[in-house]
Amino acid sequence: MPLQELTYREALRTCIIEEMDSDPNVLVMGEDIGRYQGTFRVTQGLFDKYGPKRIVDTPIVEPGIVGIATGAALVGLRPIVEMMTMSFSILALDQTINHAAKMRYMTGGQAKVPLVIRGPGGAANQLSAQHSHSMEGWYAHVPGLKVVAPATVEDAYGMLRTAIRDDNPVIFTENPGLYGLKASITVGEGKSVPFGKANVVRQGSDMTLIGYSRMTHVCLAAAEKLAEQGISAEVVDVRSLLPLDTETIYNSVRKTHRAVVVYEDWKSGGFGAEIAARIVEDCFDDLDAPVVRVGGLNVPMPYVRKLELLCIPNENDVLKAIEKIK
């Protein structure tokens, strides 16, 4: 299988192209994705390649887009909906949660909703309070949805294939800070990354840092600094929130006896709280210290860079938070 150097953004695009080529019922819908080449350029070139039938420029109507895609999925299409940013998916929560996610159950198994809702989630650079939401925790609360948040180029590529081939609605969040990430990966037909499998991205013995999406990289940076202090931190990249691979997380915690969960979302009630609760519930006897959460500040995202940076957890915040369990 060919090895290619790709950015995160190109990896997503490559996967979309391969899936569109192999299945004529895969299509992409969203705002400014076609003629304008996509706000974050994930869909660059696709309109020229596939035309308006399969690369559908929509009006700015998120609930309508998700609803139409869901309806189309019911009769056999496999739509990929691009949210210009996941913050705008808030408008479509009703279609997503109250319609798409419950359909299988309410129809007693008659409905099949192969739908992917993907786009950048989390803070970017000074986009202020209305454009900086981390939505994955909201979605991971909902039975009927699958929710993934890949941190690497390889996972972006491989998990998108899994998402497109999944027969259930999948929320696929991409942190805007990751689009430029580069790596050499193998691509091609059979190459995919399954859901529900966390990944140990750094081995360690003294504590476990747990993150997903861009926070995996923050965990890695923190682990690097901890190493300088002689502390060996293991890093688990959760990758898939729903389904959640608790076994990989637990195995690591059982080895290191300390757990730190890092997430960009508001600390209070964010998905990291769920991970922390599970560790406490199931690994209580293995823990040598309380589980630590490091989350975003519980405020709407401010505009000025200085305050924005205060809100988003970085490696120093992680180091500070674990002072108490070292």
Phi-psi category of residue 196: left, alpha or beta, with phi > 0 → left and psi -120 to 50 → alpha = left
**Dihedral angle at the C-alpha atoms of 61, 59, 114, 175, nearest 10 degrees?**
-80
What residue is closest to ligand TPP based on CB? 88
Q: Is 98 in the site for another protein (CB under 8 A)?
A: no
**Dihedral angle at the C-alpha atoms of 214, 148, 169, 127, nearest 10 degrees?**
-10
Smallest Cα–Cα separation from 116: which of 42, 216, 197?
Answer: 42
Q: Is 111 in the site for another protein (CB under 8 A)?
A: no
- Helix, strand, coil fractions of the chain, as percent rounded to 5: 40, 20, 40
By beta-carbon proximity to ligand TPP, the closer residue of 17 and 91 is: 91
Query: CB of residue 292 vs another protein: minimum separation in angstroms?
Result: 10
**131: annotated active-site residue:** yes
Query: Which residues have a Cβ under 8 Å from the Cβ of 276 and sit 6 or more positions away?
Result: 259, 261, 291, 292, 293
By beta-carbon proximity to ligand TPP, the closer residue of 83 and 156 is: 83
Collapsing DSSP to helix, strand or coil, 202 comes out as strand
Distance CA 192, CA 78 (A): 17
Q: Is 125 in the site for another protein (CB under 8 A)?
A: yes
User: What are the distances in angstroms from CA 155 to CA 28, 96, 152, 205, 231?
Assistant: 20, 24, 5, 25, 28
Q: Residue 151 binds which entry of ligand TPP, another protein, none, with Cβ cut-offs from 5 to 8 Å by kind?
A: none
**257: annotated active-site residue:** no
Query: CB of residue 76 vs another protein: minimum separation in angstroms?
Result: 25
Give the footprint of another protein on residues 41-60 (CB under 8 A): 57-60
Q: Residue 305 binds which entry of another protein, ligand TPP, none, with Cβ cut-offs from 5 to 8 Å by kind?
A: another protein
Q: Tell me which of 62, 136, 174, 315 is the catalytic residue.
A: 62
Q: Residue 296 binds which entry of another protein, ligand TPP, none, with Cβ cut-offs from 5 to 8 Å by kind?
A: another protein
Query: CB of residue 78 vs ligand TPP: minimum separation in angstroms?
Result: 23
- Are 262 and 236 contacting, i.e. CB atoms less than 8 angstroms apart? no
Which amino acid is located at 306 in the chain?
A: K
Query: CB of residue 125 vs another protein: minimum separation in angstroms?
Result: 6
Give the pairing of strands 3-7 and 182-186: antiparallel
Q: Could you list the residues that contact ligand TPP (CB under 6 A)?
A: 31, 60, 62, 84, 88, 91
Smallest Cα–Cα separation from 271: which of 244, 307, 308?
Answer: 244
The binder of another protein chosen from 296, 315, 319, 322 (CB under 8 A): 296
Query: CB of residue 29 vs another protein: minimum separation in angstroms?
Result: 13
Could you give the string, one character per residue 189-218, with x where binding to another protein holds by CB under 8 A and - elsewhere? Answer: ------------------------------
Could you give the string, one character per residue 239-278, with x where binding to another protein holds by CB under 8 A and - elsewhere? Answer: ----------------------------xx----------
The binder of another protein chosen from 108, 109, 306, 324 (CB under 8 A): 306
CB neighbourhood size of 175 (10 A): 26
- Exposure letters 40-65 (e unless 16+ CB within 10 A, then b): bebbeebbeebeeebbbebeeebeeb
By beta-carbon proximity to another protein, the closer residue of 59 and 76 is: 59
Give the residues lining the site for another protein (CB under 8 A).
31-32, 35-37, 39, 57-61, 63-64, 87-88, 91, 125-131, 267-268, 294-300, 302-307, 310-311, 313, 317, 320-321
Residues annotated as part of the active site: 62, 131
